[in-house]
Amino acid sequence: MQLLCGDGGANRPSRRPSAVVLGALADVRAAAPALRARGVKMIGALTTAPSSVARVAGVPILAAGEMSVLAQALQLVGGSPAYLVLASPLTCAEARAALDAAVTAGMRVAVVRDGAAPRPLNLSDLIGAPMRAVELESVQKLVAGKRILVTGGAGSIGGELSRRIAGLAPAELTVMDNSEFNLFSLGHDLAAIPHDAAVHLRFCDIRDGEAVRRIIERAKPDLVFHAAAMKHVPMVEANACEGVLTNILGARNVTTAAADAGAHVVFVSTDKAVNPVSVMGATKRLMEVYCQALDRDSPPNGLRFLTVRLGNVLGSAGSVAPVFERQLAAGGPLTVTDPGATRYFITIAQAAGFLLQAAAAGLEHDEVRGAAHILDMGEPLTVAELARDMIRLSGRRPGRDVGIDFIGLRPGEKLHEELVADDEVEAPTIGQGVKPVRSPPVSLVDITQRIEKLVSAARAGNDEVAKSMLHACVGQARARAATG
């Protein structure tokens, strides 16, 4: 792969690697020059649609049709080519099947698109539904010339969001985070991005209400993305009071200060807030209910408090992918909680794009006040299959070269995550793939009172009391909504 995706082969060995190219006829032809430029010999093609011709780009068509047929043909070729090159867009399931067939045949997998240089197949090619292109015009309208503030803006998701925003010509970008190192690193990243925005990096713990208010008052944002949170499920489960104080008190500090400053708010939530069983999920659900009540309350200044629900964000801090990468580097095995555990997966880049898209669409559709916004993330994937995919991407075979150990679900974890709660109703899609889901309304006064009592209990430091009160608050909010 180093040769295929390297510097044009200045130091290539004397023997040229070979490749079979998979894709539509036109895409196979377009890939040929890029492979030649890398010193790769194309020896055959697998076409995704039947054709009356026997050759393309000077090589024979080995098979045509469905992925199952192409995978079988690849097994017969195995041992001769070094690479399978994907020249056409494939569904995640098709890309996964191609990877499985290639690794079984002892081949590596690369991607060539539109004649560009080859790159390795990566995890984002295999995960979730293909992301629709962000509606750039609406997102630029959302950001350009505006003052934007991102909490948790130097973390995994917040950092990618901050980098995206900087490139969309905001007037000012203020990033709040409680990690000095992450802020320092993000500053270097932003300095490398061509932009004219004034950037302010602010060290702040969102649990400090006065500091939050001071920073937001000075920044005078038009829009706040609230991404700061404790999110690692077992960690929050073991530290319930800290989870409440960060995810609930901290979020309320941000929304209150933003509202006083006249800023719209985008609250970054999670699928773990749907029918929650964990402390982390319940804290997020309670703040979803709170933000939805604020949004429905329709203040005179027309401010919006949008809730956006993400799935498992691969590569973010505390997510499973970096754990698997470390285990692979050590030779395995990879540890998976349960063979049947499923999750909705998206990449960090997809998450940042969706947050921008959902914000732009949500602010344009006042009729969906009080809804949560979700993304079509395709079918859920078992965590075990994700582990097998990562083993294959490393060029090894699951169960033979690298094993998988099942260790059981950890505290607070569900076997299956969901995107829509039992009491929610899906509304028509708005924007590009943004789907609002409606919950029964809850009184803002009622939910505020419950939050006050819960925060007081968390400050007392008894995790079990805080945990019990939290789940009761979420259950009572649902019951109160159901009875009107």
The label of the residue with tokens 């916004």 reads 373
Distance CA 456, CA 337 (A): 35
Pair of tokens at residue 42: 């194309």
DSSP letters for 192-256: TS----EEEEEE--TT-HHHHHHHHHHH--SEEEE------HHHHHH-HHHHHIIIIIIHHHHHH
Matching residue, tokens 């270097």:
188
Instruction: Report the b/e string of 58-76 with b at 16+ CB within 10 A.
Output: ebebbbbeebeebbebbee
Round to whole Å and give the CA distance between 38 and 79.
21
Q: At what angle do helices 444-460 and 279-296 cross, to 10 degrees?
A: 150
Burial-class residue 331 by CB neighbours within 10 Å (0-12, 13-18, 19+).
exposed
**CA 337 to CA 22: how far, in whole Å?**
35
DSSP characters over 164-193: HHHTT--SEEEEEES-HHHHHHHHHHHHTS
Give the helix ranges, DSSP H, for 297-407.
Answer: 320-329, 348-364, 383-393
Active site residues: 272
Q: What is the radius of gyration, based on Cα positions, of the chain?
A: 25
Residues 6+ apart with CB under 8 A from 391: 328, 332, 334, 397, 398, 401, 402, 404
Q: Report the DSSP beta bridge partners of residue 198.
A: 172
Structure tokens at 24: 């539509």
Burial of 213 (0-12, 13-18, 19+ CB in 10 A): middle
One-letter amino acid for residue 315 of the chain: G
Q: What is the DSSP letter of 116?
A: P
From CA 19, how far away is CA 24, in angstroms rounded? Answer: 16
Neighbours of 170 (CB within 10 A): 25
Retrieve residue 248's tokens: 């609930």
> Does the CA dihedral 393-397-402-405 come out positive or negative?
positive
